[in-house]
Amino acid sequence: MNREEIKEILPHREPMLLLDEVVINENGEAVGKYTIRGDEFFLQGHFPGNPIVPGVIQCEMIAQTAVALLPDCKGKTPMYTGLNNVKFKNPLLPGKTAVMTVSLTARKGIFCFAKGKLEADGKLCTSAEFSFAIVPKQA
């Protein structure tokens, strides 16, 4: 999926759309990519002279990647319900391409459970288990 195809399923828009592309690999995992340009809003104060992508943004990138596994999300809103066992190993810096790999571990009605990781240059930056609900858009 390219950015426009992602927008057909994921309700996020700029500046919070944090995916450039997503594919489903041979293991049934979603693999997303996003290149950190350096001008993103979240780098402006984190940290001056030493920009590093905040951990919470990295978790958001991982979660957005999961939507490729859920085509029934179209027209609905995926909302975080839990974030567990989050680990930050290496910083994610401007100029790097974040590669997120996500798999669903369970689904119960509107609730989805997943695990994922974010790597850059082959180094693990972030790993997490998370859950979210797919809910109708609120007026």
Does residue 69 contact residue 30 with C-beta atoms inside 8 Å?
Answer: yes
46, 54, 91, 107: the active-site residue: 46
Closest CA to 132 of 77, 85, 75, 74: 77
Residue type at 5?
Answer: E
Would you call 46 a catalytic residue per the annotation?
Answer: yes
Closest CA to 56 of 112, 126, 136, 108: 126
Chain centroid to CA 98: 10
Residue numbers annotated as active site: 46
